[in-house]
Amino acid sequence: MAELQDKTLNCRDCQKEFVFTIGEQEFYREKGFENEPKDCADCRKAKKQARRDNWNRKDR
Protein backbone atom coordinates (compact mmCIF):
# COMPACT_ATOMS: atom_id res chain seq x y z
CA MET A 1 0.00 0.00 0.00
CA ALA A 2 1.17 3.49 -0.80
CA GLU A 3 2.10 5.80 2.04
CA LEU A 4 -0.75 8.18 2.79
CA GLN A 5 -0.39 11.94 2.58
CA ASP A 6 -2.84 14.78 3.15
CA LYS A 7 -4.69 15.54 -0.09
CA THR A 8 -6.18 18.83 -1.17
CA LEU A 9 -9.56 18.33 -2.83
CA ASN A 10 -12.18 20.71 -4.24
CA CYS A 11 -15.75 20.68 -2.96
CA ARG A 12 -18.28 19.91 -5.70
CA ASP A 13 -20.80 22.35 -4.21
CA CYS A 14 -18.87 25.44 -3.10
CA GLN A 15 -15.64 24.76 -5.06
CA LYS A 16 -13.53 25.60 -2.00
CA GLU A 17 -10.42 23.55 -1.36
CA PHE A 18 -10.41 21.24 1.65
CA VAL A 19 -7.86 18.81 3.05
CA PHE A 20 -8.56 15.08 3.11
CA THR A 21 -6.26 14.25 6.01
CA ILE A 22 -4.27 11.09 6.57
CA GLY A 23 -6.54 10.27 9.51
CA GLU A 24 -9.66 10.66 7.39
CA GLN A 25 -8.12 8.50 4.66
CA GLU A 26 -7.33 5.79 7.23
CA PHE A 27 -10.92 5.97 8.50
CA TYR A 28 -12.28 5.63 4.94
CA ARG A 29 -9.99 2.65 4.35
CA GLU A 30 -11.08 0.95 7.61
CA LYS A 31 -14.75 1.38 6.68
CA GLY A 32 -14.16 0.06 3.16
CA PHE A 33 -15.06 3.35 1.46
CA GLU A 34 -13.50 3.42 -1.98
CA ASN A 35 -14.27 7.00 -3.03
CA GLU A 36 -12.81 10.20 -1.67
CA PRO A 37 -15.24 12.74 -0.21
CA LYS A 38 -16.77 15.10 -2.75
CA ASP A 39 -17.95 17.78 -0.32
CA CYS A 40 -16.15 19.87 2.30
CA ALA A 41 -17.15 19.53 5.95
CA ASP A 42 -19.28 22.70 5.85
CA CYS A 43 -21.28 21.51 2.83
CA ARG A 44 -21.70 18.01 4.31
CA LYS A 45 -22.98 19.57 7.54
CA ALA A 46 -25.41 21.84 5.64
CA LYS A 47 -26.77 18.91 3.60
CA LYS A 48 -27.22 16.82 6.73
CA GLN A 49 -29.12 19.66 8.42
CA ALA A 50 -31.31 20.15 5.34
CA ARG A 51 -32.21 16.44 5.40
CA ARG A 52 -33.11 16.70 9.10
CA ASP A 53 -35.22 19.80 8.49
CA ASN A 54 -37.03 18.05 5.62
CA TRP A 55 -37.63 14.95 7.76
CA ASN A 56 -39.05 17.04 10.61
CA ARG A 57 -41.49 18.74 8.22
CA LYS A 58 -42.79 15.34 7.08
CA ASP A 59 -43.58 14.35 10.68
CA ARG A 60 -46.14 17.17 11.10
pLDDT of residue 55: 86
pTM of this structure: 0.76
Compute φ and ψ for 43, nearest 5 degrees: -70, -40
- Residue 56's identity, in one-letter code, is N
pLDDT in tens, 1-41: 679 999 999 999 999 999 999 999 999 999 999 999 999 99
pLDDT in tens, 39-55: 999 999 999 999 999 88
- Structure confidence at residue 57 as a pLDDT band (50, 70, 90): confident
| Three-class DSSP labels, the chain | CCCCCCEEEECCCCCCEEEECHHHHHHHHHHCCCCCCCCCHHHHHHHHHHHHHHHHHHCC
CA distance 56 to 17: 32
